[in-house]
Amino acid sequence: MEHTPSGPLTIRPATSDDQDVVYAFLCDLEDETLNRPRFDACFACNLANPMVHYLIAELPDGPVGFVSCHIQYLLHHTGKVGEIQELFVKPAYRSQQIGRQLVNALVALARQEELVNLEVTTNQKRNDAIRFYERESFIATHQKLVRIIN
């Protein structure tokens, strides 16, 4: 069931108070229950890292979306590159431009941080996500290969 926004959407940096809601969002995104102690450790470490940005999309009745961006200095780009690691909008609030607003907030951050580019990798089976990123001006230029370690 689709919800109508109850007021203006705010995009703000995540804080430690958002840990539970981000955990719930990412369990939903991955369609599994993530290891909570390991999640909590990663969340705290990344919140303290100035090269990691977590943004929350919030309506007056609470958070409805989340995006994370990790920044690295990459030699082959001779500069800083941001990579979207996770982007989630609650299913009832999709198709209401919330994902677009989260991406736009990251683009503004990328310009402020003078990034060379902003990248995203998504699973090949996530066709809706691929179409979303293409609509947001992301271009398929690389192929990512993964070797699972554990």
Sign of the CA dihedral with 23 first, then 24, 29, and 31 last: positive
Structure tokens at 29: 């995104």
In eight-state DSSP terms, residue 42 is H
Instruction: Provide CB contacts within 8 A for 113, sequence distance 6+.
Output: 71, 80, 82
Tell me the one-letter amino acid at 127. Answer: N
Question: Within 10 Å of residue 13's Cβ, how many Cβ atoms?
Answer: 12
CATH 3.40.630.30 fits 10-121, yes or no: yes
pLDDT of residue 110: 96
pLDDT by residue, tens only, the chain of 150 residues: 566 656 799 999 999 999 999 999 999 999 999 999 999 999 999 999 999 999 999 999 999 999 999 999 999 999 999 999 999 999 999 999 999 999 999 999 999 999 999 999 988 888 999 999 999 999 988 888 888 898
